[in-house]
Structure 1
Amino acid sequence: MAILGIQIPYRLPTWEDNGAYEALLRRHSRCNASECLYHGGREQAEGSGPWQLLLCSSCAAEGTHRQCSHLSNTTATWECDGCAGPGYQHR
């Protein structure tokens, strides 16, 4: 556009200025197991091991600590009950 002599000022879109979409940029960070067993609470997690927070591999809208859903340390993915369907057994 500058080659054609048209100047366009750089500025962020107005919808970014008011923070209306800020929540969409945040990652889910809470254990949604019916009973959270972590001593630090639902809002805390560790980077690895039994207290690592796994997010649903389909929707990423729910999470669980490995220990709270009885998952092994080698389990790489997990699906919430809503995505897995009724009666699905997590292994």
Structure 2
Amino acid sequence: MEHLRGPLYLDVAAKGLSLVGVVMMVFGHGGWFVAGLFLVFMGVLIGAWGMVAVRRVRSPSGPARPAPFGPWGRRGRSSDEEPGS
């Protein structure tokens, strides 16, 4: 779990920027609307960057938590089955 701290910070930053941007767009006048729009756009970009970072950190074998209907392989096979069957 120590590897997920960076993407967590990116997610918090993205949501914070987007929230501040929305508040600026709703309550701001003139140039503040454009600044809020820019902040929302930056929040979306940072959120996408965070999702890519989590995808690179995750194990290629899948999530560490148990699957709700049992373990599954990459191609939809159960991991309990033999590869040749």
Superposed pair shares fold, TM > 0.5: no
Q: Higher relative CO (CA 8 A, sep ≥ 6), structure 1 or 2?
A: 2
- TM score, norm. by length of structure 2: 0.24
Report the structure, 1 or 2, having the larger strand content: 1
Report the structure, 1 or 2, having the larger helix content: 2
